[in-house]
Amino acid sequence: MKVLDSDTCIGILRGRTEVLARRAAEQDEVVTTWITASELFYGAAKSVQPEANAALVVQFLNTLPVLIPDLASARLFGEVKARLASDGRIVADADLFIAAIALSHGATLMTMNRRHYERIQGLAIENWLRA
């Protein structure tokens, strides 16, 4: 399973050739999270064409499952946040929620922001802009 982060979704929505090609060739199930969906709607709402962009977001999100939190991801969120805090490392809660959901599903996170996630132990990360 591959979990799309916001930046990868935006790459698809903007028609980035490299991202579209990797998405089309992907054999694993491709999903996203409710957090990413929220971030996409936020971006649409603050854009010059909020209604049109929100419609594009809805159209895109209707093409893939959107994962919601469960007790397993909630527990992982708490454990990972505590571990990072004890090491003096901070990761934004939204990124931690996305990572916890990916971890709880044994999935690979598709992101272009490696530095946001590389401190999270056990999280598999891939970037569809790089081979």
Q: Which DSSP string do the residues of 10-32 spell out, in sequence order?
A: HHHHTT-HHHHHHHHH--S-EEE
- Percentage, residues of the chain above pLDDT 90: 76
According to the model, what pLDDT value does residue 14 have?
92
CB-CB contact of 123 with 73 (8 Å): no
pLDDT digits (tens, 9 = 90+) for 99-122: 999 999 999 999 998 888 998 999
**Domains of the chain, CATH where assigned:** 2-126 (3.40.50.1010)
pLDDT tens-digit profile of 75-84? 999 999 999 9
pLDDT at 131: 56
Task: Record the pTM.
Answer: 0.92
Exposure letters 88-109 (e unless 16+ CB within 10 A, then b): eeebeeebbbbbbbbbbbebeb
